Amino acid sequence: MNERAETAAQPTSGDTPLNLQRVLFAGPTPDTDADLYATIAGGHADRTRTSLHAGPGTTIDTDTYFGRVPAAYFGRWTTLTSIDLGFTFETTGRAHAVIRGSDSNGQVHDVARLELEGAGAATSTVQLDAYSAGGSVWVGFVADDGELTIRDVVWSTTAPRRMRAAAVAICTFNRPADCVATLTALASDQPTRERLSAVYVVDQGTDPVCDQPGFERVSGTLDETLAYIRQPNLGGAGGFTRGISEAIAREEDIDLILMDDDIRCEPETVLRLTAFAAVTPEPMIVGAQMLYLMNPTRLHVGAEYADLRTLRAGRWAKNALHDADMLTERQDRPADAGYNGWWTCLLPSEVITGLDLPLPMFFQWDDIEYGIRAAQVDDVRTVTLPGAAVWHMDFSRKDNDDPAMYFSIRNSLITAALHSDLDVKSLSTRMFREISQYIVAMQYGLAHTMLRGIEDFLAGPDILGDGGRAAVTEIRRERAPFPETVVHPESDVPGVTYRELPVRPAGFEPAKDRFDVVLAKRAAVQLAGRVERGCVAIPPTDAHWWHVSLFDQVVVADASGAGVRLRTRDTRAARALGARNIRLRRRFRSEAKQAQQAYRAATPTLTSRENWQRLFTTE
């Protein structure tokens, strides 16, 4: 259909509009790829964050990652039946705007056409009933034969009778420059700054954020909105929980957004999360998606769930994109999320008061456990909202041979104990196999780390009594004697000249049904010393256990890119860890169910405000 733009803005209904999302033409920083926001073809245009000036013959399209409105998400999870588009324009000739939509299969159709003449404001309404199965809507602009200026393009609806307060809580540990950059991004965007009633920074580091250049300036901008809190290091779980506790104590009716310190923040995401939360019929956890910091047009996962049978998190949900280039790919079908990572995630106060606080796990799986608990205990859904995102360091840049593995295995077992039947036999076999693979891959410190995590799970909920502070110190100390846990510069690898090493890429992977047979053979060959002698280099993408185990000594690049690790065959360590692995498998089968009962009984105490207050004030 054709519509002629009005010369003054006319809200379609109600008195107070709620902006669901602004149509932005550029990112928050100059180095952000502007094509994630709008694309320009057939001419030229000058763009700012909220405006665009196009020459004759230019086409502007917002069929982009940040430009699309996820209509299926609004239609499925909110009370909205329609959304409104509004913008102002100036043109020296003929111009028009076209609203388009997609269906669940990605097929595109025209929704409305607005003829633009002179100067004024344009409005149009899009019904959402056609998007129940999937699809998005967006707007495009064409300067037919004159110059065209577009400003303040907004998708909106009628606001609820009362908008609740919104706040951000940032947990930080020795990343002061990153934290100041995140605060600066929030403060730099006026609508975002005005939307937030508080910004809590929980600093647990030894390099204080308050001493960082730029903090005083951003503190002055945020003024009384900023609450800066110092406390002992209780990990991400403790930092975020302190932010939750402070926010709830100050404002009982609030939408609290948890946010990592080291993201590149898109402040528009705060507005989109809070707007979506404002129009859901029941309180929901509303999460942002994650774009890769090192590959900034690529999406991590569109929606995630955790498989508690295998202790694997970050599984991509049905219909969700994963590791996708958002310059070319689109997600048209809605995806159900089992939880959302706390890189940026909105928790309504009703969820917090209904569930109480997170478990004192230090870090790893604390956000996953909380999301699963919300769904299982209070039937609270999680939605991961397309077009609401921040940039976060690529997970592929984190090596799993790290103290974090202790918390990952221990906390995943606790989560499985609380929220699943805990298939002890299957889990014990799976973990035994994984640890054995680490041993034959000459990752003895990693095998020890995983064994310690399982042992401490079996020790029961008392292990969480100090919030994890002792565990993080102890696991670092225990890993230190294992030489392959050390990352060396390429120019200083002990006993070898890395650049001169022969490179050994992997051959064909064994068939899955023969993994256990191959694993047993590799272990026997290693213990007998029937391996290739000398030191070789193996590319990190080829460092599979079944390949590394063929050699006496290997150098493998660390996933972080910071250097390399030297793995050396050690039959004494292999025998000791192998025997310990066998004993622990038996222990797990006999003791895991008892531990499960203990964790379930202790959860109300562990997640209580009284317990957390004790942890916050204990040096």
Q: Which sequence positions are flagged as catalytic?
A: 367
Report d(CA 203, CA 261) in Å as an integer.
10
What six digits make up the tokens of 398?
């984190």
Report d(CA 213, CA 215) in Å as an integer.
6
Report d(CA 265, CA 292) in Å as an integer.
12
3-state helix, strand, coil in the chain (%, to 5): 40, 25, 35
SS3 613: helix
| Distance, C-alpha 246 to centroid of its chain | 23
Helix (H) or strand (E) segment spanning residue 417: helix 404-419
Give the start-end residues of each E strand in 278-425: 285-292, 298-301, 304-307, 312-316, 322-325, 344-348, 382-392
Torsion sign over Cα 488, 494, 496, 502: negative
Q: Are strands 196-203 and 165-172 parallel, antiparallel or unpaired?
A: parallel
SS (H, E, C) 67-92: CCECHHHHHHHCCCCEEEEEEEEEEC
Cβ(88)–Cβ(65) under 8 Å? no
| Long-range pairs of 267-270 with CB within 8 A, sequence gap ≥ 24 | 267/28, 267/185, 267/186, 267/188, 267/189, 267/192, 268/21, 268/22, 268/24, 268/28, 268/66, 268/189, 268/192, 268/388, 269/344, 269/388, 269/389, 269/390, 270/166, 270/168, 270/186, 270/192, 270/195, 270/196
C-alpha to C-alpha distances, 403 to 311, 314, 479, 558, nearest whole angstrom? 17, 19, 8, 14
What six digits make up the tokens of 378?
């209070």
Helix (H) or strand (E) segment spanning residue 158: strand 148-158
Give the other-Cβ count within 10 Å of 481's Cβ: 11
Q: What are phi and psi of 364, to 5 degrees?
A: 80, 120
Report d(CA 30, CA 19) in Å as an integer.
25
Burial of 579 (0-12, 13-18, 19+ CB in 10 A): exposed
Cβ(424)–Cβ(461) under 8 Å? no
- Number of residues assigned to the chain: 619
Cβ(552)–Cβ(442) under 8 Å? no
SS3 119: strand
Rg (CA), the chain: 27
Q: Which has the closest alpha carbon to 4: 100, 85, 140, 117? A: 117
